[in-house]
Structure 1
Amino acid sequence: METLVEEHNEELQEEYVDPLEMVQPIEHMKISMHALNGSLGFRTLKVTGYHSKMGLHILIDTRSSHNCIDPDLVRKLGCDVRSINPEVVAAANGSMKVDKMTTITWLLQCAEFCADFLLLPLGSYGVVLGVQWLLTLANIKLNFRNLIMEFWHKGRKHLLRGSDS
């Protein structure tokens, strides 16, 4: 803790602020064009995950604010769906209203995760992991040229390798 002295000899104390605490909550929900049209962007990673041995086409997308899952996939997985207050999600092709969400657990290259997802028709990708999920990982290292993401989860270092096709 540093101590600063003003001209009036009053001491002011400056507290250490964790950078994670400075992150403001995401006020506007948005989903990227890549998540909706099934393409890969410069700030995305395409990976395969699993829920109950069923393969999931996952897009890790730094331009989408929240996690989203396709409603058809939710039905196939048999996940419970709950209603939420309707929210508007901004998208490249206009805006969409979202009023349902689910919580799922999935495996991603030997690591288990659990998160909430908004139900949105996604098309090619069944699952989009946005900034909402990335924030849970704290420090991450992304190499978009080599399609690699490195992070720590549950005390272990993980290295995700994305696919370019």
Structure 2
Amino acid sequence: MQLHVVMNGSRLSALLDSSSTHNVIDVKVAAHAAIAIQDQAGLNIIVANGNQLLSQGYFWDMRFKIGDELFTADCYGFALGSYDMVLGVQWLESLGPVLWDFSKCTMEFVCHGHHILWYVVNQSLGSRTTFSKSRITRKGYGGDKYNQERCTRVQAPLSYHSARG
């Protein structure tokens, strides 16, 4: 799933990727967003095409927003090129249980006491609009009574097309 995150006022394109073990950020993008890099022994990763990359440092406790929700992540720095940031299992596991329905293009989880639902509402012209819907429940996840409901729009670049005939 692709979406946009806001970090230090900069809007970044991010990929949520359950096949990536670590979080990574493009070092040039991080510098533009004024994120300080920490020298650390490099992580050597193998990317999808088989090439190996050595990290250029580490970014601790980076804060960013998706919609109205605030999140944090630690990321290795690389020259990525295609995405500004990849949020892998290292970040996804911090969300707790996640329900991902690829047939409906939705992702649900509970974070900071909110039930969060991200879903695609527009699939035209090479982009998707993903809505982030947060609910604070009285009974916890799945409760019927809600104290508050927020819905914010998160612009997401198109990550895939589905041809149906």
- Establish whether residue 68 from structure 1 lines up as the match of residue 24 from structure 2: yes
Structure with the larger helix share = 1
**Aligned residue number for residue 112 of structure 1:** 70
Q: Deviations over 1:101-156 (max 9, x none)?
A: 11310001211011100001111210100000011011000012332110011111
Higher relative contact order by CA 8 Å / sep ≥ 6: 1 or 2? 1
Question: Unaligned 5+ residue runs, structure 1?
Answer: 1-44
Q: How far is the alpha carbon of 1:99 from its aligned partner?
A: 4.2
Equivalent residue number for residue 57 of structure 2? 100
The AA in structure 1 aligned to 2:92 is: L
**Residue 4 of structure 2 corresponds to which residue in structure 1?**
48
Q: Distance in 1 between matches of 2:157 and 2:105?
A: 8
Q: Does 1:123 align with 2:81?
A: yes
Mapped to 2, the partners of 1:64 and 1:71 lie a distance apart of: 18
RMSD over aligned Cα atoms: 1.4
Structure 1-normalised TM-score?
Answer: 0.69
Mapped to 2, the partners of 1:105 and 1:79 lie a distance apart of: 10
In 1, Cα distance between the equivalents of 2:157 and 2:7? 22
Task: Please say which structure displays the higher CA radius of gyration.
Answer: 1
Question: What's the TM-score once normalised by structure 2's chain length?
Answer: 0.69
Residue in 2 aligned with 1:147? 105
Match of 2:37 in 1: 81
Inter-partner Cα distance in structure 2 for 1:122 and 1:145: 29
- Structure 2 CA distance for aligned equivalents of residues 51 and 132 of structure 1: 18
For residues 72 and 164 of structure 1, what CA distance do their matches in structure 2 show? 20
* Residue deviations 1:52-83 (CA, integer Å, cap 9, x gap): 23211010011111100001101100111001
Q: Is the 8 A contact 1:106 1:114 kept in 2?
A: yes
Matched position secondary structure for 2:39? strand
Distance in 1, Cα, partners of 2:157 & 2:36:
32
Q: What does residue 20 of structure 1 align with?
A: none
Structure 2: where are the runs of 5+ without partners?
A: 120-129, 131-155, 159-165
Q: How many residues align?
A: 121
